[in-house]
Each structure stands twice: as structure tokens, then as C-alpha cells.
Structure 1
Amino acid sequence: MTISENTLKVAQIGFEHFTHGLATGEWQPFLDMLTDDFTFWFPMGKFHGLNVGKERAKEFFQYVSEAFSPGIKIVAVDNVASNEKTVIFEFRDEGLLFGQPYKNRVVVCFEIRGEKICSYREYFGSDGKSY
């Protein structure tokens, strides 16, 4: 298996755990895939910018579960792109955000090191229209 094949395999498993976490609030399988020096970047709110460490990631994903209670569903994966160490997933999701109807287009990037995710970046933008 080449480096890029392993990167894609690890990222796909991570994305399955990520999707499960969004839907159920159960993040432990995803958190178990993170390196000890894990970093993540988020575009807004109390987690805006660069965040460092697994504990900070645990806080973030708990916040995501609270914001999207009872869960958020990925309705389509529109694109997956990868190189030697990074895999990008572009998807559409929907659910309730603080009790209000929510639909969005999201891009998440996982940087892979060995069998773990060492970095996560998220970008999104909702124009308020249904897709």
C-alpha cells in the first residue's frame, strides 16, 4: 500500500467516525484516531482559529453535539480529494442548530500521520438557500 492509499484509508475511517459523531454525539471512536499533538482550525465562535490538543478537540466536539442536538445528518458527499498526507471531504448536511432548521455545505480536511489524524480544518458557508 502506498503512502497516499494509506492516507485515504485512514481518512475514510476517520470520516465514518466523524459522521457517526455528528449523527449521535458519540465522538470517542473519532477522538481515538487523533494524535496527542492534534490541532484543529474552526472558522467562527468560541473555537475560532487554531486550537491545540485532544482535550480541546473533545470540548469542541461536545459543543458540536450540544449545538446540533439531536444530531446532524450528512445528506451527500460531493467530493473527496487527497494527496500524500491530506484528505478533503466536501459534503452537505442538515439538522437542527440550536433548535432551528439548518442546511449547509461543508469542507473538512484531515491531515494524516501514520494511522492517526494529526490535524483537522473546517470551512463552511450557507447562503440560506436550500440545495
Structure 2
Amino acid sequence: MTQRSNTLEVAYRAFGHFQHGLATGEWQAFIDLLSDDFTFCFPMGPYRGFNKGKERAIAFFQYVAETFKEGLSLTLDRVTSNETTVVFEFRDEGLLLGEPYKNRVAVSFDLRGDRICAYREYFGSDGKSN
């Protein structure tokens, strides 16, 4: 198995757990794939900017679960990858604190072996579906 195919296999497994977390608020399977030195960047709110550590990530995903209590549905649009990074572009929708929500999102996973060592999220949309 090549490095790139292993990276894709791990990333798709992680993305499945990520999607499950958004839908249900259950993040443990995704968290179990994070490296101990995990870092993440988020574009807004209390976790805006650079964040470091698995404990900080656990708090972040709890925050996401509380923000989207009813869960989000996701439609995957595109996947781009190299030997160590995989970017998933998707549309999501649901309720944000009880209000209708739609967005276009890109999440980037950096991988080291069978662990996610970094996560970056980018989003922004006028709410219209394309």
C-alpha cells in the first residue's frame, strides 16, 4: 500500500467519524483518531484561531455538539489529497441553536501514520444551495 492510499484510507475513516459526530453529537470515535499533539484551527467563536492539544479538541467538539444539538446532515462534494493531507469539501445543513442553517465547508486533515495530527476548517456561504 502506498503512503497516499494509506493516508486516504485513514482520512476517509476519520471523515466518517466526523460526519457521525456532526449528525449525532457523538465525537468519541473521531477523538480516538487524534494524535496527542493534535492542533486545530477554527475560523470563529470561542475557538477562533490556532488551538493545541487533545483536551482542547475534546472541549471544541463538545461545543460543536451543543451548538448543533439536532445534528447536521452533510453532502460530500469533493476530496483533494496528497501524501499527508486530505481536504474534504461539503455542504451541511440543519439547525444552529434552533435556527435553520446551511453552509459550505472545507475541512483539512493532516495525518501522521494512522492518526490525525492537525485539523483546519474553512467555511462561509450566503446560505444559498448550489
The TM-score range, normalised by the shorter chain, is over 0.9
Identity %: 66
Letter paired with 1:64? V
TM normalised by structure 2 equals 0.98
Partner of 1:123: 122
Q: Give the drift of 1:92.
A: 0.3
**1:91 maps onto 2:83 in alignment:** no
**1:78 maps onto 2:77 in alignment:** yes
- Give the 3-state SS of the residue equivalent to 1:17 in structure 2: helix
Between the aligned partners of 2:18 and 2:121, the Cα distance in structure 1 is 12
5+ residue gaps in structure 2? Answer: none
Q: Give the drift of 1:128.
A: 2.8
5+ residue gaps in structure 1? Answer: none
Partner of 1:103: 102
Letter paired with 1:51? N
TM normalised by structure 1 equals 0.97
Query: Which aligned segments of 4 or more residues in structure 1 are displaced greater than 4 angstroms?
Result: none
- Give the 3-state SS of the residue equivalent to 1:128 in structure 2: coil
Between the aligned partners of 1:102 and 1:52, the Cα distance in structure 2 is 28
- Give the 3-state SS of the residue equivalent to 1:69 in structure 2: coil
- Kindly report the root-mean-square deviation, in angstroms, between the aligned alpha carbons of the 2 structures: 0.7
Q: How many pairs does the alignment contain? A: 130
